[in-house]
Structure 1
Amino acid sequence: MRFSIASLGEEPAGRFGEFVRLCELLGYESFCHSDEKWTRDVYVRLAVAAASTSRIGLGITVTDPYTRHPALTAQAAATLGEASSGRLRVFLGAGSHFETLPGYASVRPVVGIRESIELMRRLWDGERVTLDGEIVRFTGGELDFPVAPEHRPGVWVAGRGRQILRMAGQVADGVLIGSFATPAGIRYAKELVAGGLERAGRTWDDIGLASWLYVSVLESADDDVPAGVRRGVSHALWSSRAVANQLLESVDLSGEDEFLAFMKDAPHEWSPAVMAELRRLIPRVVIEQFAVVGTADQVAAQLIALRDEGVQECIAWPFPADGMDVEDFAVQFAHEVVPRVRGRRSRGAYRLVD
Structure 2
Amino acid sequence: MKFGIGIGRTLTARESAKLARQADELGYEHCTFIDSQNLCRDSTAMMALAAAATTRIRIGQAVTNPYTRHASVLANVIATLDEISEGRIFLGIGAGGSAVAMVGKKPRPLTELAEYVQFFRDFTGGKETEWQGLPMRSEWAEREIPVLIGTHGAKSCRLAGRIADGVFLPGLSPEITTWKRARVAEGARSAGRELADLDVWSRGTVFVHDDVDEAREYLRSYAATSAYFLWRSVLSRTTPESEELAAMLPDAVLSDMAALAERYDWYQHEVVGAPHAAELSDRLIDCFAIYGPPSRCVDRLQELRETGADQVSLVLYGVPDQTAMISRFVEDVAARLG
Common fold by TM > 0.5: yes
Residue of structure 2 in register with 1:196 after alignment: 187
RMSD of Structure 2 on Structure 1 (CA): 2.6
Cα distance change, pair 159–261 in 1 and its aligned pair in 2 (3 A): closer
Task: List gaps (5 residues or longer) in structure 2.
Answer: 237-241
2:103 counterpart of 1:101: yes
2:118 counterpart of 1:118: yes
Residue of structure 2 in register with 1:287 after alignment: 285
Cα distance change, pair 286–265 in 1 and its aligned pair in 2 (3 A): closer
**Aligned residue runs from structure 1 range 184-333, under 5 A:** 184-223=175-214, 225-227=216-218, 229-242=219-232, 243-244=234-235, 247=245, 249-252=247-250, 260=255, 263=258, 267=262, 270=265, 278-318=276-316, 324-333=320-329
Task: List gaps (5 residues or longer) in structure 1.
Answer: 132-136, 343-354
2:147 counterpart of 1:145: no
Structure 1 residue identity aligned to 2:285: I
Q: Cα offset for 1:264? A: 5.7
Residue of structure 1 in register with 2:173 after alignment: 182
Question: 2 CA distance for matches of 1:117 and 1:273?
Answer: 30
2:55 counterpart of 1:78: no
Q: Cα offset for 1:195? A: 1.4
What is the TM-score normalised by the length of structure 1?
0.84
Residue 226 of structure 1 aligns to a residue whose secondary structure is helix
Question: 2 CA distance for matches of 1:230 and 1:285?
Answer: 11
Question: 2 CA distance for matches of 1:47 and 1:327?
Answer: 20
Cα distance change, pair 274–11 in 1 and its aligned pair in 2 (3 A): closer
Residue of structure 1 in register with 2:337 after alignment: 341
Q: Is contact 2:172–2:289 with CA below 8 Å preserved after alignment?
A: yes
Residue of structure 2 in register with 1:165 after alignment: 157
Structure 1 residue identity aligned to 2:111: V
Q: Cα offset for 1:328? A: 0.9
Residue of structure 2 in register with 1:58 after alignment: 59
Q: Cα offset for 1:203? A: 1.5
Question: 2 CA distance for matches of 1:220 and 1:51?
Answer: 36
Cα distance change, pair 86–277 in 1 and its aligned pair in 2 (3 A): same
How many residue pairs match? The answer is: 325
Question: 1 CA distance for matches of 2:32 and 2:107?
Answer: 23
Q: Is contact 2:8–2:317 with CA below 8 Å preserved after alignment?
A: no
Residue 67 of structure 1 aligns to a residue whose secondary structure is coil
What is the TM-score normalised by the length of structure 2?
0.87
